[in-house]
Amino acid sequence: MVLEQFLHKRTVRRHLPFLFLLSFFFVLVAYGVQHVFFPDQTLTTVLLATILLVPSLHHLIIVEETIERSGSKHFFHKHKTIFRSYLGAFFGILAGFLTLGILDPAALSYQHYQLQASHLKPELITTFLANFQPTPDAALGLFSSNLEYLLIGLLVSLAYGAGSIFLVAYNASFFAAFVLQLFMRFAEAKTLTIVSLSHLLPESAGFILTAIAGATLSRALIKEKWGSQPFRNVLQNCFLLLILGIACILIAAFVETYVTAAVFKQMIG
């Protein structure tokens, strides 16, 4: 694409603020295209934003796979560029969808409908306020549900490589819709949002790490010789990323059960 030729890969790789602004801009562009060509398909905005981001993030996946070929020594230092870049993309997408949701609530109609039919369904809130008790079983139930989505996300990442940014964009769009729902429903929305961040951020980090792992392994499966030392190094690093991702959603499940849910029950009960 023409824009991709304009954006130097070193710029994409080195600057978290740049990825933030680029992702924010792409969400707005995707919304404009969706509004003109697919006015009744609001989820299309997520897909179009993904398509726009893939070429830029493809540079990162190439660099990441090259780095991981050398092994897992200095793991966090060597991976900080792609961690920072994906975080920049996530927060840029999140800011973009929050902006769209404020200016045009219909832009997140699909996400709002799904939330109202599940997590924020009035009947479920009533039952939660009456019966919920934080227990390890409740936390493990949340963890197992998120783990299922995480593993499905890993398979998607393996299939689509850098297109795994769709998982990040999809998650960010629901994050934005959830925050907006809180402000529409509850007077204590600001406090509830801050408390929700305690589990939403590690949960999102888990999906980001999985997207990176799947995309990197996807490239290695194509480029590297199976069974070779570089391939084993990439596989080992991707396994570590996946374990970190699983650890993040496990922490998020317990925080949601014992912190977020308790505060919600106290403030809106």
What's the whole-number mean pLDDT along residues 152-170? Answer: 81
Q: What is the mean pLDDT of the chain?
A: 82
What's the whole-number mean pLDDT along residues 108-123? Answer: 81
Dihedral (CA of 136, 137, 142, 144) sign: positive
Q: Per residue in 41-86, pLDDT tens? A: 888 999 999 989 888 777 666 665 565 555 555 555 656 777 778 8
Q: Which two tokens stand for residue 50?
A: 């993904």
Give the chain's domain count: 1
pLDDT (0 to 100) of residue 4:
47
3-state secondary structure (DSSP) of residue 37:
helix
Which of 24-28, 78-82, 104-108, 159-163 shows the highest mean pLDDT? 24-28
Residues 6+ apart with CB under 8 A from 213: 154, 157, 237, 238, 239, 241, 242, 245
Where in the sequence is the domain holding 185, given as residue range(s)? 2-268
pLDDT greater at residue 170 or residue 230: 170
Statement: the pTM of the whole predicted model exceeds 0.85: no
What's the whole-number mean pLDDT along residues 142-161? Answer: 86
Instruction: Check pLDDT > 90 for residue 176.
Output: yes
Q: Which two tokens stand for residue 134?
A: 């934080």
Q: Which two tokens stand for residue 127?
A: 């039952």
Q: Are 177 and 111 in contact (CB under 8 A)?
A: yes
pLDDT (0 to 100) of residue 26:
95
pLDDT (0 to 100) of residue 245:
94
Report the percentage of the chain scoring pLDDT > 90: 31
82 φ, ψ to 5°?
Answer: -75, -35
What's the whole-number mean pLDDT along residues 106-135? Answer: 79
Within a 10 A sphere around the Cβ of 92, how many other Cβ atoms? Answer: 26
pLDDT (0 to 100) of residue 14:
56
Instruction: Check pLDDT > 50 for residue 1.
Output: no
pLDDT greater at residue 125 or residue 238: 238
**Range with the poorest average pLDDT among 27-36, 64-73, 158-167, 258-267:** 64-73
